[in-house]
Structure 1
């Protein structure tokens, strides 16, 4: 009987701790629970996300190797996504020639909704259409909460996560993250 109770408790503890968000390896963020930065050499690899853009073109994260990529997950129905989209547009316009590429990861169920949002906000960067969340599931466990939009991952020129930000992001925050990577 006691063995059975101990085994049940051990399984419960394992399940509960396995479902919690792990502390990221190499996190050097000072105090902001929504932002993380990763020291060089301790950055987790970001998988080569790939698929079709909202415009129907093939898009791969690896197409931008050698650049700093600001990967932003969004959806047209997400209010913070609407607020931050001009910030991302401005970042692409100001920093694109210096080696920064914004890449959206759109989670709208309808390509039409995502494309309308992209056109309405005149976003000059591509967005990978991922209605099923298949690409999100490829991200390393604990890197970001893929169930909450928006989130942003700053990918260094070698394809590793240099920083993450949960929630709405500003151009000023992103500039501080991308500048040292150029």
Structure 2
């Protein structure tokens, strides 16, 4: 049984490549003021990271995502954190403890996470400069940031 659990954990953390499938457009309010609309970001590589305040791996991953955002932003890369907590105050409380510079969007009704088929926390969607979903990464384990860097560099170079 423990081998099955280990295998399932491994499967959840594997990144999946997809044929260029158009991303689903949405607009959500941001912690940086105003709303952000995905369709207005064409030309940039976008990393959508779906997370929740109760998710341990999400909390562990946040500082690493902030580092990726800072490192690759000048090359046309953006991280958008999409919080799925029902209450914004839960997200705000966590962000007070683990501040990040990238925008946090609030999907309290879960509409955007449903559009993207999010079933695991965290889940990360990589969108290319043309607005196509290229990779989906489910879960987070130590070392996943190496895979993230590889995907980011590939998409930036295109």
TM-score > 0.5, shorter chain as reference: yes
Please give the per-residue CA displacement for 1:75-118, whole angstroms capped at 9, x wherever unaligned.
11100101111110000011111111000110111112212222
CA contact (8 A) 1:55 1:115 kept: no
Question: For residues 58 and 35 of structure 2, what CA distance do their matches in structure 1 show?
Answer: 23
Query: Residue 108 of structure 2 is aligned with which of 106, 128, 131?
Result: 131
Q: 1:171 aligns with which of 139, 142, 145?
A: 145
Specify which structure has the higher proportion of strand: 2
Q: Which has the higher contact order (CA 8 A, sep 6+)?
A: 2
Q: CA deviation at 1:56?
A: 4.5
Aligned length: 144
- SS of 1:44's partner is strand
2: CA distance, partners of 1:124 / 1:103: 10
- What stretches of structure 2 of length at least 5 have no aligned partner? 1-9
Structure 1: 5+ residue stretches without partners = 1-30
Post-superposition Cα deviations, 1:58-84, rounded to whole Å, max 9, x if no partner, equal 111123211110110001110010111
What TM-score results when the alignment is normalised by the length of structure 2? Answer: 0.83
Q: Aligned partners of 2:41, 2:133: CA distance in 1, in Å? A: 14
Q: Secondary structure at the match of 1:73?
A: strand
Cα root mean square deviation, aligned: 1.8
Q: Does 1:36 align with 2:16?
A: yes
TM-score by length of 1: 0.73
| Contact residue 89 and residue 125 of structure 1 kept, 8 A | yes
